[in-house]
């Protein structure tokens, strides 16, 4: 099985100096930039600060897609609306999904799409990006492979650092605002005990909220990881009822102002501070 899933027909392009690559979210933009560097021109399809689950594309987004040469998406339902637009207005141009080769966490009838919030997963995604860019631009494949190898080493070092730190945590359980941190919890044997918004933008029912409060009290859970892109009202209510603290972890960051590596390092440091 190939490392990448390629949909829409692939056809040869007349490349300019740089590949014009459309990428769905900021963390993926950062990963593609690290591999492609000066050989790629990236345009971000879901703006910084927007929730990819609920974002509605604008006419300007469609115009960008028409001009793009290839596209990199998470897949797994996170950015499915972009897939439909690309197929309609950029027919024949390749879409690369970056989840291939990752051990996915089941979620309902599908899989949890927040694959990039795992340093081991990100290393696989970087390999996928390298292979995709090499497919598009074979003459520079060695360049992409070298950049990918260097960045994977950097991610592996951060992963190793956190694995050592996390062994000394006094707390290992937390509640999350929405199911963004399942892969990270699996990586480091942390326990995700509950989720406030099980579906994007859907607040818990009174019964669900009551059950979550009871679970937090029973398990003495003192940490709630919320997100800056979402309303933290319910998280604050939970914190008041359970004497927990609300800690903001950012699953998306900003491109190019906050690269993926800096985003993850900041999140990992916040986790250590909250759970030590």
Q: Do the domains at 5-161 and 168-275 have one common CATH topology?
A: yes
Determine contact, residues 239/246, Cβ cutoff 8 Å.
Answer: yes
Q: How many CA atoms lie within 13 A of 234 on its CB side?
A: 24
pTM: 0.92
Assign 46 to helix, strand or coil. coil
State the chain's mean pLDDT as an integer.
Answer: 91
Domain ranges of the chain: 5-161, 168-275
Question: What is the C-alpha separation between 206 and 213, in angstroms, rounded?
Answer: 11
What is residue 15's predicted lDDT score, i.e. its pLDDT? 52
pLDDT digits (tens, 9 = 90+) for 165-175: 999 999 999 99
* pLDDT confidence bin for 3, thresholds 50/70/90: very low
pLDDT of residue 11 exceeding 70, the answer is no
User: 5-161: which CATH topology?
Assistant: Rossmann fold (3.40.50)
Q: What residues pair up with 43 in beta bridges, in sequence order?
A: 22
Confidence of residue 30 (pLDDT cuts 50, 70, 90): very high
pLDDT of residue 6: 55
259 to 165, 238, 251: CA distances (angstroms) = 22, 31, 12
pLDDT at res. 1: 35
DSSP classification of residue 112: -
Going through 58-162 in order, the beta strands assigned E by DSSP cover 70-73, 95-97, 106-107, 110-111
**77-86, 150-159, 173-182, 230-239: range with lowest mean pLDDT:** 77-86
CATH architecture of the domain formed by 168-275? 3-Layer(aba) Sandwich (3.40)
**Are 19 and 72 spatial neighbours (Cβ–Cβ below 8 Å)?**
no
pLDDT in the model for residue 10: 53
Phi and psi of 263, rounded to 5°?
Answer: -60, -50
Helix axis angle, 260-275 relative to 141-166, nearest 10°? 10
């Amino acid at each position: 099985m190939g490392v990448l899933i390629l949909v829409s027909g692939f056809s040869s392009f007349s490349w300019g100096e740089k590949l014009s690559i459309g990428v769905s979210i900021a963390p993926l933009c950062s990963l593609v930039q690290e591999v492609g560097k000066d050989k790629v021109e990236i345009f971000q399809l879901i703006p910084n600060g927007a929730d990819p689950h609920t974002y509605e594309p604008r006419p300007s987004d469609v115009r960008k897609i028409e001009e793009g040469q290839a596209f990199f998406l998470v897949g797994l339902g996170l950015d499915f609306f972009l897939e439909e637009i690309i197929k309609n207005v950029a027919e024949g141009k390749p879409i690369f999904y970056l989840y291939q080769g990752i051990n996915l966490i089941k979620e309902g009838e599908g899989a949890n799409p927040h694959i990039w919030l795992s340093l081991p997963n990100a290393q696989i995604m970087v390999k996928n990006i390298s292979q995709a860019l090499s497919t598009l631009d074979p003459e520079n494949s060695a360049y992409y492979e070298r950049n990918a190898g260097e960045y994977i080493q950097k991610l592996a070092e951060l992963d190793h650092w956190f694995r050592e730190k996390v062994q000394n945590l006094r707390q290992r359980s937390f509640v999350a605002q929405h199911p963004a941190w399942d892969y990270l919890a699996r990586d480091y044997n942390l326990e995700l005990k509950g989720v406030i918004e099980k579906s994007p933008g859907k607040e818990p029912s009174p019964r669900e909220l009551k059950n979550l409060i009871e679970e937090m009290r029973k398990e003495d859970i003192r940490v709630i990881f919320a997100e800056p892109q979402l309303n933290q009202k319910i998280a604050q209510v939970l914190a008041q009822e359970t004497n927990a603290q609300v800690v903001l972890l950012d699953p998306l960051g900003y491109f190019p102002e906050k690269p993926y590596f800096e985003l993850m390092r900041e999140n990992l440091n916040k986790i250590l501070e909250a759970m030590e």
